[in-house]
Structure 1
Amino acid sequence: MEENDDAGALIEEDYYTFFNIPRDATQEEISNAYRRSSRLYHPDKHVDPIRKKEAEILFNKTKKAYEVLGDPHQRAIYDSLGTHGLETEGWEIVQRTKTPQEIREEYERLARERDERKLQQRTNPKGSVTVHINATDLFSRYKDDLAYDDSENVHFPTVEVSGMSITQSIEAPLTLRDTMTMSGQLSTQNGTGTGSVVVSLRRLLSEKGWLEVDLGAGNGPTFTLKGFRTLTKRTFSNMATVFHFTPHGIRPDIVTTLATQLDKHTVGYLTWRAGTHSSMSTTIVRDNTTSHAAFSMQFGIPHSFFSLSYTHKLEEMELKLRGSIKAGTFGAVVEYGAEKKVSQHSWLAASVAVGIPSGVTLKIKLSRANQTYIFPIRLSDELIPSPVFYATVTPVIVWAVVKKLIVDPIVHEQKKRDKEKQRELNKTRMAEKKREAQAAVELMRATFARVRSDEEAKRGLVIIKALYGRLVNVPGVSTSGAGEAGSSTEPEYLDEVIDVMIPLQCLVKDAKLVLHEASKSQLPGFYDPCVGEEKLLLVHYLFHSHVHEVVVQDNESLRIPKQSHRVNAT
């Protein structure tokens, strides 16, 4: 449903791939690549006026690439910011005598000035809507209600909205250090409503800390002072002091937290609260790419408890599985559920909370950009099996149906629109790249004949077939990864495929071919035949007169020859 942020990106020049060198190439490697390209595209090597004109275009591109990569100052800008960094407004004031680090700092200063001008035009709205639903009548009707029921009439269970809460905030950056936030909250429960509004001003004192002042109005005015400070490399603390003005006097509350990083993925927290509710709690949180675990223990008034939660992250499926247990003086609650990414900026979560004496509750949560919608559905005031079963099974069935009939078609259509948008945006650029690639191939023919002849003479590396683009049904290859084909079965491919045998053969040196981790559409003689689609490179080659075959993804590195690429004779 939301548009992909990258869908409208303009494709930039990749000078490293144009020279077929790694991004950490030495100046000697850059110079050698420049000389090879110069010999290939130098206009003086061509007599035909059309070929001479094409050679001039490619020779100028070669000089531009060397001008950037051969100059440490421009290379530093290009590595950090791309070609648009070289064209930044105000960049002309930067002295060429500055070091690469000073150049980066100068660009960052110019970027901060632009960002500061944009701050006044930007807000960051956030909000949440919580709708409490009482559906206990579905599973347990009161006995008194049954006594008054007419047996001849059919009773329909009552499902009602028992409460609602709405919060909204708007963030208004004033400067790069000062931010003002206005937030409001409205809630109603069983016919009784409350509301509040808070205005906050936060100032970034330094890289190590900030200070915030909050003024609130609602059930009496409030004044809050908050602060954050980094104490050491591994330790930080924050504190909040709240003064609530009531008809009976000023009611102060203090909350302070001390946190320390125990290891690379683990942080420990110690929190002290004093005032209306006093407590001391300690929490340990461990978070990494595959899981998130937290253990907490609190001693205080009116409640003491311990809690343990664990989340397993399935990154490839964009899915999180969660489970938690909490027990204390209030009773005990076990909660389990899952959270699934349904679009670029949207997550859908469902969980079941089973507790004593709280009963059974199904929670549905939808997060879309900065807005959150929460639906706690109370199914039972008692712990009985039927609501637990239906709360667990129903969301899974509903999601499967909704995904099949609604979500998948919408996501598919959105991806299609994103691809069309990207193609349209880069239409002129791609037409230009196609003409450039075709011209490069024509200019390579003499070099191709020489390199191929040399490799054939020494039974070296000879490219016999090379296709680049949207290949499908390639033996041994899935869309999620590259594979090495050992079958003579021909792959199927669409019109969005180009022949790149000549460009690849020209890159062969001493019976070896090395392609680095970058889109191969930027290689000399290549272009992108299917913008927005997944692309593969299929190569059939001879080495020591034996047939070899390999398929790699667009951004995957390739080194040939390899024994594993050899096709077994049948």
Structure 2
Amino acid sequence: MALFEEGTDPSYYAILNVPKDASYEDIKRAYRGLAQVFHPDKHLDDDLRDKAQEAFAKLQEAYEVLSDPQKRDVYDVYGKEGLNAGMSLGTKLKNTDELRKEWEAFKAQQRAAREEAAASHRGIYICRVDGRGWAHGDWAAVPQIRMVVVQNSLDVSVTDADVLLLQGQAALRGNQGSGSVVAGYKRVLSPNDELEAHAVLGLRSLLQLTSTRRLGHYTTAAATGSYSWDQGMGLQLTTSRQLTHSSSASLTWVVGPPNASSMGVSVSHRGSKYVITGKIDLGLVTSLSSRLTYLLNDNLSLKVTGRIGTSGVDAELGLARKFSPTSSLYAGSAVSLQGGTAFKVRYSRAGQVFEFPILLTGDCRDWEVLAAASIVPPLASFLLMRYVVGPLKRWQRRRAETAARSEHAEQLRREANRAAAERALLQPVARRKAAAEAAAGGLVILEAVYGLLHEYRLVRAQQGQSSSSEAAAGPQRDQQRQQQQELHRKQEQQAKAQQQASSSSSSSSQEQPQMNGSSSSSGGPAADAAAGSSSSSSSEGDLALPPPWLDVTDALQYLVSGGKLELHGGVSKLGLMGFADVAEGDKELYVAYCYKQRLFEKVVGDADLLRLPGAGEPVCEPDVADRLWAKYRSMYQQQQQPQQPQEEAQ
């Protein structure tokens, strides 16, 4: 979630810590419990009363909305923006679910319209390079351009039912070039019928008319008639049908002209992690081909293509990586009995496709080149993503986060201070609850952090390294300190001897106090400098940005009741009292707690459900366990009897 993004106000359900299906009694009970802490009249101190005023206003606002059925329905559908805009449910709408469905359908239509507008411009750019010299070690050879193809198309929606198409294409093969311009018009006649006309002007000009009709829920048919000046009339029939939920088939029959007649059948099946397609073409060129796309993960897929026919045999193997919903990169090796071995790179972004086939050898039996083309690119891609692209993306993300935090520095500090004030109000009650839970062996929250946990762990690791280095350098540092003290003692003795031996002159009597003063305060300037640096750093710290996480230990301990803690899912936790949005990115919640004299920890997402103590996992790291036990003793040793936790059980 973006930092201070519009529409990211804290959820009223999170403020009261109630589920979305909470009853009025649950909402009222949660409100009264929090009002006991945040009501301004509960605090005699002026500072605490001012802190409680803002928190109680937020609490009261959430209660007024959720306790009113009509306002709550509007809030569930439209959010806080709907309440501010004065929207109402009306009398004809039946329930909240219908409103939510209509609202989601409207938003889906808007997204679809934006995606369609973004994909209206498409382009294909292919540049085939002859790199056989480089493949065989001749780095002085100049690669030659074998083929260049450029194609651009633009769709313009004139009305909801009318679309204009303009397309231009050019190709250069060797010393021969060709090109054409295509103008088209598409008309939606009905929900089941479309009519499309094209005029192609170029070396091969023709007129084309296509009629498409939806014959049933699973079947579509199209008929295309064409006329060219050199070949005459032509006709193509196409039909497609959805065979099963995950399978489909299509049939294409080119009736004429006679020298172009052919027939093709293709079948496609989609699985949970793969898509496989088989095709048979019969005509002047007869072939059998198949293509498999296997999803290795959400962003990486393996593509395998094979074809055998009268024009030859070829195969292709490659990997495609998806960087975003609109951009992807493909790299693969293709081998053909006639064309040799080539390496392909294809980059797609927002409807634009850039493809670079590089011919490596003209002989498909050159196994060394084939092996290199199949092994080196994936290995190079892995190393590049692991050691170059990955660190660069992380650096770019941190830079963007830092820029966003700097841009909202004042608001960040205000949010952090507000959350700290709320936790300060919760702290006395939370500590009493913790003491009662500790005495009964119940749920005691020892450490809770909300925000960017990877940044928190990084700082924690640095602190651990610095403490270990200080511990390792302890004896050496003590020895240096002793040497400095010994040197300082000798300097003082020399100064006193000089003072006794010198004559009582005015200059010497005035200089000697200065010497004594400087020598006696040999540690003073360093201490003053350290004090000055610490004061300056503390003053800079007041103006610096808060860390991208919050210590919410007291805020969670306050929510513990009867040895249990529940944070409801489906809403962001930044709305909880004592929480705030102080980070850009996916925030998480880390909780370390003690239950029945055992240590547990748990990490959940910002909107995930959390139920303690059942959801926790035992603490396994000795350093973390020692730190948590030390915190347990230091926090509750005054309230708890000398009974010590059973550390041996850990």
Does the alignment reach a TM-score above 0.5? yes
Counterpart check, 1:46 vs 2:43: yes
User: d(CA) in 1 for partners of 2:31 and 2:130?
Assistant: 73
1:469 to partner: Cα distance: 3.7
The residue aligned with 1:569 is 649
**Within-5 A mapping of 1:64-79:** 64-70=61-67, 75=72, 78-79=75-76
Counterpart check, 1:21 vs 2:18: yes
1:77 to partner: Cα distance: 5.4
Check 1:158–1:282 CA distance in 2 against 1; reply closer, same or farther (3 A cut). Answer: same
Counterpart check, 1:549 vs 2:600: yes
1:208 to partner: Cα distance: 5.9
Contact 2:4 2:581 in 1 (8 A): no
Check 1:519–1:114 CA distance in 2 against 1; reply closer, same or farther (3 A cut). Answer: closer
Contact 2:235 2:255 in 1 (8 A): yes
Contact 1:123 1:173 in 2 (8 A): no
**Within-5 A mapping of 1:332-343:** 332-342=313-323
The residue aligned with 1:130 is 126
User: d(CA) in 2 for partners of 1:33 and 1:228?
Assistant: 59
The residue aligned with 1:390 is 372
Higher mean displacement: 179-188 or 19-28? 19-28
Check 1:308–1:104 CA distance in 2 against 1; reply closer, same or farther (3 A cut). Answer: same
Correspondence for 1:359 among 340, 344, 356:
340
Higher mean displacement: 348-357 or 115-124? 115-124
- The CA deviation string for residues 66-107 of structure 1, in whole angstroms up to 9 with x for no partner, is 45545566555555554445556xx64863664435645775
Counterpart check, 1:461 vs 2:514: no
Contact 2:28 2:67 in 1 (8 A): yes
Correspondence for 1:513 among 538, 548, 565:
565
Where 1:505 maps in the other structure, the secondary structure is helix
User: d(CA) in 2 for partners of 1:254 and 1:248?
Assistant: 14
Contact 2:290 2:306 in 1 (8 A): yes
The residue aligned with 1:168 is 152
Counterpart check, 1:530 vs 2:610: no
User: d(CA) in 2 for partners of 1:116 and 1:252?
Assistant: 36
- The CA deviation string for residues 164-189 of structure 1, in whole angstroms up to 9 with x for no partner, is 11112233333455443432211111
The residue aligned with 1:305 is 287
**Within-5 A mapping of 1:248-259:** 249=232, 251-259=233-241
User: d(CA) in 2 for partners of 1:116 and 1:566?
Assistant: 47
Counterpart check, 1:198 vs 2:251: no
User: d(CA) in 2 for partners of 1:37 and 1:124?
Assistant: 54
User: d(CA) in 2 for partners of 1:206 and 1:51?
Assistant: 68
1:353 to partner: Cα distance: 1.7
Q: For residue 552 of structure 1, what is the amino acid of its counterpart?
A: V
Contact 2:321 2:330 in 1 (8 A): yes
- The CA deviation string for residues 457-492 of structure 1, in whole angstroms up to 9 with x for no partner, is 5432222333334445999xxxxxxxxxxxxx9xxx
User: d(CA) in 2 for partners of 1:201 and 1:369?
Assistant: 23
1:158 to partner: Cα distance: 5.4
The residue aligned with 2:555 is 503
Contact 2:128 2:356 in 1 (8 A): yes
Where 2:18 maps in the other structure, the secondary structure is coil
**Within-5 A mapping of 1:10-159:** 10=6, 11-25=8-22, 29-70=26-67, 75=72, 78-79=75-76, 82-86=79-83, 92=87, 95=90, 98-99=93-94, 100=96, 103-104=99-100, 124-136=120-132, 157=141, 159=143
User: d(CA) in 2 for partners of 1:261 and 1:86?
Assistant: 48
Runs of 5+ unmatched residues, structure 2: 458-467, 469-545, 620-647
User: d(CA) in 1 for partners of 2:311 and 2:112?
Assistant: 50
The residue aligned with 1:486 is none
1:136 to partner: Cα distance: 4.5
Higher mean displacement: 160-169 or 444-453? 444-453
Q: For residue 602 of structure 2, what is the amino acid of its counterpart?
A: V
The residue aligned with 1:436 is 418
The residue aligned with 2:389 is 407
Check 1:199–1:72 CA distance in 2 against 1; reply closer, same or farther (3 A cut). Answer: farther
Check 1:206–1:559 CA distance in 2 against 1; reply closer, same or farther (3 A cut). Answer: farther
Q: For residue 95 of structure 1, what is the amino acid of its counterpart?
A: G
Q: For residue 553 of structure 1, what is the amino acid of its counterpart?
A: V
Correspondence for 1:268 among 249, 255, 268:
249
User: d(CA) in 2 for partners of 1:469 and 1:79?
Assistant: 26
Q: For residue 446 of structure 2, what is the amino acid of its counterpart?
A: I
Contact 2:604 2:610 in 1 (8 A): no
Check 1:335–1:7 CA distance in 2 against 1; reply closer, same or farther (3 A cut). Answer: farther
Higher mean displacement: 205-214 or 337-346? 205-214
Check 1:406–1:67 CA distance in 2 against 1; reply closer, same or farther (3 A cut). Answer: same
Check 1:242–1:353 CA distance in 2 against 1; reply closer, same or farther (3 A cut). Answer: farther
Where 2:59 maps in the other structure, the secondary structure is helix
Where 1:341 maps in the other structure, the secondary structure is strand
Counterpart check, 1:245 vs 2:296: no
User: d(CA) in 2 for partners of 1:209 and 1:32?
Assistant: 59
User: d(CA) in 2 for partners of 1:562 and 1:104?
Assistant: 33
User: d(CA) in 2 for partners of 1:62 and 1:188?
Assistant: 70
- The CA deviation string for residues 241-284 of structure 1, in whole angstroms up to 9 with x for no partner, is 142332553x3232412221513x33333444433444443333
Contact 1:186 1:193 in 2 (8 A): yes
User: d(CA) in 2 for partners of 1:70 and 1:261?
Assistant: 52
Higher mean displacement: 191-200 or 506-515? 191-200
Correspondence for 1:348 among 322, 325, 329:
329
Check 1:463–1:394 CA distance in 2 against 1; reply closer, same or farther (3 A cut). Answer: closer
Where 2:649 maps in the other structure, the secondary structure is coil
Give % identity: 26
- The CA deviation string for residues 28-87 of structure 1, in whole angstroms up to 9 with x for no partner, is 544544444444433443344443444343333234334554556655555555444555
Runs of 5+ unmatched residues, structure 1: 142-153, 476-488
Aligned length: 528
1:369 to partner: Cα distance: 3.0
User: d(CA) in 2 for partners of 1:368 and 1:117?
Assistant: 18
Contact 1:312 1:320 in 2 (8 A): yes
Where 1:539 maps in the other structure, the secondary structure is strand
Contact 2:288 2:309 in 1 (8 A): yes
Q: For residue 64 of structure 1, what is the amino acid of its counterpart?
A: E
Contact 1:365 1:372 in 2 (8 A): yes
What TM-score, normalized to structure 2?
Answer: 0.69
Where 1:440 maps in the other structure, the secondary structure is helix
The residue aligned with 1:482 is none
1:391 to partner: Cα distance: 2.1
Q: For residue 195 of structure 1, what is the amino acid of its counterpart?
A: G
Contact 1:259 1:270 in 2 (8 A): no
Please say which structure displays the higher CA radius of gyration: 2
User: d(CA) in 2 for partners of 1:239 and 1:413?
Assistant: 52
Q: For residue 259 of structure 1, what is the amino acid of its counterpart?
A: R
The residue aligned with 1:145 is none
- The CA deviation string for residues 325-348 of structure 1, in whole angstroms up to 9 with x for no partner, is 222232322211111235675322
User: d(CA) in 2 for partners of 1:522 and 1:411?
Assistant: 30
User: d(CA) in 1 for partners of 2:111 and 2:375?
Assistant: 49
The residue aligned with 2:168 is 184
Check 1:342–1:16 CA distance in 2 against 1; reply closer, same or farther (3 A cut). Answer: same
Check 1:321–1:501 CA distance in 2 against 1; reply closer, same or farther (3 A cut). Answer: same
What TM-score, normalized to structure 1?
Answer: 0.78
User: d(CA) in 1 for partners of 2:63 and 2:428?
Assistant: 24
More strand by share: 1
Contact 1:7 1:418 in 2 (8 A): no
Correspondence for 1:282 among 262, 265, 271:
265
Counterpart check, 1:416 vs 2:413: no
User: d(CA) in 2 for partners of 1:368 and 1:244?
Assistant: 35
